[in-house]
């Protein structure tokens, strides 16, 4: 047990040990419903978000676990050896490089075989918030400042930057309801307008059903 702890808390295994603690904590949050396994896919380029179509959180978790086990094994072997000085430092760097290469190779291999189990869904976009109702979170909203909370289609919420054109028809205060009607890519904010639920006409009514008349002399 002492040998295991010594190896796990020594370089280079300690790097993967710290990352493994973070990975375990993240998946506990996923199990508790406080996080989603696609949480970081939208923050990465589509070519980097995951390996081979697998969500980035899954790829990184597997990479950290495999890297930790490989580095731990190498550290145990180093501690059992009698190398010292420059040779030991070189072997330690080799263990780190080998752990990274093995972890990458294993993730690539697993992703190639299991990517079909992950649905190919487009990453969420800020444009998805356009047309949604939001709740103002700042004391006021103007042409240069304002924040609001908006709910996504999956039920998650986000705090976004909002701006109001002048002259404003109505002043916003904290808790007011607004409608995000456009997104400014350059400024990275949404244009918002006042929204009154009482004036929302709702979805258009369904067209009336037409009944086919039966010609005289025929039965329906």
Give me the CATH number covering residue 155. 2.40.50.140
79 with 144, same domain: the answer is no
Same domain? 60 vs 11: yes
pLDDT of residue 34: 72
| Residue entry with tokens 């263990």 | 95
The structural domain count of the chain equals 2
Of 14-18, 26-30, 120-124, the range with the lowest mean pLDDT is 120-124
The residue among 85 and 205 whose pLDDT is bigger is 85
The model scores a pTM over 0.85: no
- Asked whether residue 155 is domain-assigned, the answer is yes
Stretch among 25-39, 104-118, 142-156, 203-217 having the lowest mean pLDDT: 203-217
Same domain, 130 and 191: yes
Alpha helix ranges (H) inside 54-173: 56-80, 85-114
The overall average pLDDT reported for the chain is 77
49 and 71 co-located in one domain = yes
DSSP 183: E
Strand-pairing partners, residue 192, are 180
Do 141 and 169 share a domain, yes or no? yes
Domain annotation covers residue 202 = no
For residues 123-143, give the mean pLDDT.
84
Given a cut of 70, is residue 47 above it in pLDDT?
no
Q: Does 147 lie in the same domain as 175?
A: yes
Q: Give the model's pLDDT for residue 101.
A: 92
Last residue of a domain, one of 67, 84, 117: 117
The DSSP secondary-structure symbol of 208 reads: P
User: Which residues constitute the domain of residue 35?
Assistant: 2-117
**Is 187 inside any structural domain?**
yes
Of 96, 117, 138, which residue constitutes the final position of a domain? 117
Domain end position, chosen among 63, 94, 117:
117
10 and 112 assigned to the same domain: yes
């Amino acid at each position: 047990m002492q040998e295991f702890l010594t190896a796990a808390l020594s370089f280079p295994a300690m790097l993967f040990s710290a990352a493994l603690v973070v990975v375990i904590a993240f998946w506990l949050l996923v199990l508790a419903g406080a996080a989603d396994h696609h949480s970081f896919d939208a923050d990465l380029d589509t070519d980097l978000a995951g390996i081979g179509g697998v969500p980035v959180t899954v790829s990184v978790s597997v990479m950290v676990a495999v890297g930790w086990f490989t580095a731990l094994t190498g550290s145990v072997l180093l501690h059992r050896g009698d190398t010292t000085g420059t040779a030991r430092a070189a072997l330690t760097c080799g263990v780190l490089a080998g752990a990274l290469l093995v972890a990458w190779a294993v993730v690539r291999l697993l992703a190639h075989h299991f990517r079909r189990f992950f649905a190919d869904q487009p990453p969420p976009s800020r444009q998805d918030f356009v047309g949604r109702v939001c709740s103002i979170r700042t004391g006021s909203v103007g042409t240069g400042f304002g924040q609001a909370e908006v709910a996504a289609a999956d039920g998650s919420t986000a705090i976004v930057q909002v701006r109001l054109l002048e002259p404003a028809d109505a002043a916003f205060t904290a808790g007011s309801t607004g409608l995000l009607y456009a997104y400014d890519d350059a400024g990275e904010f949404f244009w918002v307008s006042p929204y009154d639920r009482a004036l929302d006409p709702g979805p258009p009514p369904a067209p009336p059903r037409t009944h086919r008349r039966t010609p005289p002399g025929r039965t329906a």
